[in-house]
Chain A
Amino acid sequence: MEFAELIKTPRVDGVVLHRPFMPTVEGTLCLTGHHLILSSRQDNTEELWLLHSNIDSIEKRFVGSLGSIIVKCKDLRVIQLDIPGMEECLNIASSIEALSTLDSISLMYPFFYRPMFEVIEDGWNSFLPQDAFKDLESMVWTDEWRLSEVNKDFSVCPSYPPLVAVPKDIDDDSLKKVATFRHGGRFPVLSYYHKKNGMVMMRAGQPLTGTNGRRCKEDEKLINATLRPGKRGYIIDTRTINVAQQAKARGGGFESEGNYPQWRRIHKAIERSNVLQESLIKLVEACNDQSHSMDRWLSKLEASNWQTHVKEVLTTACLAAQCIDREGASVLVHGTEGTDSTLLVTSLAQIILDPACRTIKGFQNLVEREWLQAGHPFQQRCAQSAYSNSKPRLEAPVFLLFLDGVWQILRQFPCSFEFTESLLVLLFEHAYASQFGTFLGNSAAGRAKLSLPEKTVSLWSWVNRPQELERLTNPLYEANSLVIWPSVAPQSLLLWEGVFLRWNRSSKSLDEAYDEMVHIIEYNKELQNKVNTLRRQLAQLETEDPLLHTP
């Protein structure tokens, strides 16, 4: 298929662009296969390059022969294009609609994008599965855990990566059996190893016990292998007990006390994806209506339930972290599929527990390991954002909820993260629309099939350049090896302004404050260097010139 077929009108002159915080621009609108471009042809800075894949929905309005297209983006920005001529406007609108809803992944922009920057470190090689648990190898690792290639052709579990960490005593044949007992073949695998006390966090899909209470000895053996003698573990089920009970009728279920006597099961409900999607839509709608009175704003914010979901996921992540760090117990986390709420809990728990995840590289590693490799279906979940008009099917802001959770912890511990909010915003944007191939596909298998490393550029190649790293580095960062316990009290959880109010309120004064903060710290470093040089010189002079010692 040629893009040209979809572009009814490639160019319109005299188009006026309105966008947040920027002066109105008049210029020429061009449509290409992947971009909507507006250029004033005077000044390069007054240009708009918008990926079609960033467009969530559009609205048309007509006043006389002047048409307007309201473009609502997945990054929550809303822009308006005033187009002279009704026919042009309709053509542009239908072209945008067609181009922004292409079905075929291989037509996406990352397959056409050529980097304009020098790739210093190829991001596709930055976080290889075999390296994921590398630092553990020096530990008890080899005694208790091993890397298994049982899934190397994705046949045991289509949503798992080719390499997974499992208890050493469990052989690949057992893993295959366990896979048939777990939803989507997602047998329990290692998610996190707590060096401090050797406790682990595992994740899986729900056990397929069904109504007749099917059991699987290998499954019991697998998870029991992670327990110390005489110790109990915790199973955190991200569904209510009722939902878990109902799942039995559809072949799912949960670990019964009888078959898993060494495990205590805790049900902590995290809403399912379609509920989250509706919540996001309501939240963004509330944020965009500036005419609200205080009462109406607060009641809309409340009714959206978004903040409730943030509290829910952080509470459950804290619980998992508590079991591991405070109780000294191992934890298994699962919901139904084990690809959404499960990952929210395991990844946020690691932010709390593991200082490495709070570094720039470590956080990328976490996203790669616990989201991309772990089989979160990005392509499906991020197909539409908050302005989608269609009824959500598979779309859900699960990853955005994760980023929001990280932001809340970062805001409470502003000195404990090597990165700033900017990295989180950047990941949000790229998960929904990107020139990079990182978030394409729904699983490692899908990505392998698309040959992404060969055909596209990795987002990490872009992020891990000195200029970009400098932009993302938190000047307040002071590495600390502690577990950080966020407050989940409602008063402590704020609306993430950097994403949800980003296009509604100017951040100028906050940006100034950030610059000032950087300035204070850099000035201090500069002084320290100078003083140190002087001290050295002085010390040198004192040894060279004994006269200095006489008063």
Chain B
Amino acid sequence: MEHIRTPKVEKVRLLDRSSGQRKVSIGTLYLSATHTIFVENNPETRKETWVLHSMVSSVERPPTTPAGSQLILRCKDFRVFQILIPQERDCLDVHASLVRLSRPEKYSELYCLSFNPNANKEERQESWSFIDLMADYKRMGVPNNLWVSTAANSEYRVCDTYPSELFVPRSATPATIVGSSRFRSRGRFPALSYFHQDTLAAVCRCSQPLSGFSGRCQEDEVMLQAVMKSNPGSDFIYVVDTRPKVTHQHTQTHCSTITGSDTDTTCVCVCVQLNAMANRAAGKGYENEDHYTNIKLQFIGIENIHVMRSSQQKIIDVGEMRSPSMTDFLWGLENSGWLKHIKAILDAGVFITRAVADEGVSVLVHCSDGWDRTAQACSVASILLDPFYRTIKGLTVLIERDWVSFGHKFSHRYSHLDGDPKEVSPVIDQFLECVWQLSEQFPCAFEFNERFLIAIHTHVYSCQYGTFLGNCQKERRDMRLRERSHSVWPQLWKDRAEFTNPLYKAELSQSQGILRPNTTPYCFKMWKGLYNHVEKSTPPRQSPADFLSAVREESQQLEEELTNHQEVPPGGTAHHHPGSRQEDRSSDREANHLGEHRGSEEDSPPAV
């Protein structure tokens, strides 16, 4: 609280620029320890706008106008608020407070650790056991005679950014593991990400080898050999280096195509250096095919976190343009490079999927440290390979495995604490967008809707729950997060009705087996739901999905009524929501209270 200089300012004007509103509302601005709250003066609505401090990415103070002093609040979920404060003094105070509050210096300042929800201890403990990664490995048939659990990292001694429980090839001895880990960046040795039961091929992940120009490591070579041997159907493995092999510097001259000739875009490529080659000079690099037998090296070309950070800024700017022309928009989209990057990540997933599912060849994926591009490529591949990860529960398991447990640096990437801005990058944003792009191509294949992806995106940044705090499992253990905070997943699960895609149908061909997306450039769209909050529904604009959800809900009630009349239509249960089994218990009770307002406990107003 010591950072709040002025807790309350009156006669403040607020414009929610991102909602497409043109109307300014007048009200009172409050600063609490966790939120900026704006309460409209209008006695009829008294609309409240709450902005979590941890969601604020920047607070700008444009020059003072005669009407007062301005603040522009940009949020990590791409909302933008324009605030006009009558007195400059107040504005300076609010600005200083917000700048400090939105950049916590210690974890203990974060919402999930500073704010005590009134849930009890058991509930908290239960929330953390919502996801059981070992159960998911079991689901994919692991451990088995090819892949076994290793205790090598149980105390995080071999690799402090890896989880304690890992699966490795059966033939990999502890010595091999330790030896290989010494030869890999940050000790991130090859471990199992996904096992494909149909072909017995696996997706494994690691970091780059510390090979330099000539270095080699026998244990690492044995380790890769072991990965290959754990797939009886294949005599080689793919090593996928997700980095671009060559860094191009583009000098592009844009000319219009009035002449209609093919030389409208002159592209001068200057091959400056090998990206991977630069790493080699630093003693890192990629596998030397002469030293490793039976590997095929494949470069994919996903750009690094710095390129992605500036690309996302550009696409945010595109979303914020005021009445752009079509040319401005399309040029901005192209210039941002964003969709190109999304395509590269999806292409990586497609490559891995084809190798594993079609060729039956195992794949070892790495980038530099193996926690950004590697996480993207592996998790996209899992989505494509396994329908389970396209369910609400499955996606949470996947994020928990490939991102949270494998040491994706959430706190650095999403600037949970005031830190190095060069560490910040929208890595998981891109994964979520890949899933969204897929759901546009396969509308029936995903159990969840766009809102679910956006909710996850929000929570990755919001620090309302402990799930995404810290940079690896060890850090979270050391922070005793499980005792001090809650997991986000049970909360999202509770709201699953809101996140359910009414078109999801597990029996359809697109929902079963492998997803084979088309990655031709014209298949990619700007994700309006995330980057462009403008034009939320003005009636009678309707979302077909919401309409269908309502229809399905009604059907469910009708089914219940029919059951009550002891007449079930043939095949009537085929359209139950997944998860409706749990509701069946109470169906009798509910059937007698049809039409009554349900879930009133959840509607209690928020406390200030």
Which A residues fall within an 8 A CB radius of B? 282, 287, 290, 292-303, 305, 307-308, 310-311, 412-416, 476, 480, 482, 484-485, 487, 489-495, 501, 504-506, 508-510, 512-513, 516-517, 520-521, 523-524, 526-528, 530-531, 534, 538
Contacts and interface: CB of A to CB of B under 8 A. Distances in A.
Interface string B535-547: 1001111111001
Pairs A-B, 7 closest by C-beta atoms: A490-B329, A297-B521, A513-B443, A298-B334, A294-B340, A302-B330, A527-B558
B535 A523 contact: no
Contacts of A527: 555, 558-559, 562, 569, 572
A495 B525 CA distance: 10
Contact of B521 (A298, A416, A484): A298
Given A517-B548, A523-B555, A524-B551, A484 B442 contact: no
Contacts of A282: 257, 260
Interface in B154-179: none
Contact of B325 (A299, A490, A524): A490
A297 to B, nearest CB: 4
B308 interface: no
A490 B552 CA distance: 33
B526 A491 contact: yes
Contacts of A299: 254, 264-265, 330-331, 334
A509 B442 contact: yes
B91 interface: no
Among B325, B510, B540, the most chain A Cβ lie within 10 Å of the Cβ of B540
22 contacts: A292-B520, A293-B340, A294-B524, A296-B265, A299-B254, A299-B265, A302-B326, A476-B544, A490-B330, A491-B319, A491-B532, A492-B528, A505-B523, A509-B441, A512-B444, A513-B444, A516-B508, A520-B502, A530-B569, A531-B558, A534-B565, A538-B565
B541 A492 contact: no
Nearest to B527: A491
A528 B558 contact: yes
B528 A491 contact: yes
A516 B256 CA distance: 44
Contacts of B558: 524, 527-528, 530-531
A494 B525 contact: yes
Contacts of B254: 299
Nearest to B571: A523
A489 B535 contact: yes
Nearest to B525: A494
Contacts of A509: 441-445, 510
Contacts of B330: 298-299, 301-302, 307, 490
Contacts of A494: 525
Interface of B: 254, 256-257, 260, 264-265, 319, 323-331, 333-334, 337, 339-340, 343, 441-445, 502-503, 505, 508-510, 518, 520-526, 528, 532, 534-535, 538-544, 547-548, 551-552, 554-555, 558-559, 561-562, 565, 567, 569, 572, 575
Contacts of A505: 518, 520, 522-523
A228 B523 CA distance: 51
Contacts of A491: 319, 329, 526, 528, 532, 534
B397 to A, nearest CB: 24
A461 B524 CA distance: 39
Contacts of A412: 541
A520 B548 contact: yes
A298 B526 CA distance: 12
B256 A303 contact: yes
A482 B340 contact: no
Contacts of B542: 413-416, 476
Nearest to B520: A290
B141 to A, nearest CB: 28
Contacts of A517: 503, 544, 548
Contacts of A476: 542, 544, 547-548
A294 B333 CA distance: 10
B565 A495 contact: no
Given A295-B340, A414-B544, A524-B555, A490 B443 contact: no
A263 to B, nearest CB: 27
Contacts of A513: 443-444, 503
Q: A-side binding surface: helix, strand, loop or mixed? A: helix
Among B265, B522, B534, the most chain A Cβ lie within 10 Å of the Cβ of B522
B334 A302 contact: yes
A296 to B, nearest CB: 7
A282 to B, nearest CB: 7
B565 A484 contact: no
Nearest to A301: B330
Given A485-B538, A534-B562, A516 B444 contact: yes
B535 A492 contact: yes
Contacts of A489: 323-324, 534-535
Given A299-B265, A303-B257, A512-B509, A531 B444 contact: no
Nearest to B523: A505
B569 A516 contact: no
B518 A415 contact: no
B522 A501 contact: yes
Contacts of B555: 520, 523-524, 527
Nearest to B509: A512
B190 to A, nearest CB: 32
A302 B329 CA distance: 9
Contacts of B522: 287, 297, 301, 495, 501, 504-505
A508 B510 CA distance: 9
Contact of B510 (A414, A512, A520): A512
A493 B532 CA distance: 13
A303 B264 contact: yes
A501 B559 CA distance: 40
Contacts of B525: 494
B234 to A, nearest CB: 30
A415 B326 contact: no
A302 B522 CA distance: 12
Nearest to B535: A487
A527 B324 CA distance: 48
Nearest to B566: A534
A302 B441 CA distance: 23
Nearest to A500: B522
A427 B524 CA distance: 27
A299 B253 CA distance: 12
A290 B542 CA distance: 34
Given A482-B540, A485-B538, A520-B551, A490 B520 contact: no
B443 A510 contact: yes
Contacts of B337: 294-295
A387 to B, nearest CB: 15
A479 B343 CA distance: 40
Contact of A531 (B328, B510, B524, B562): B562
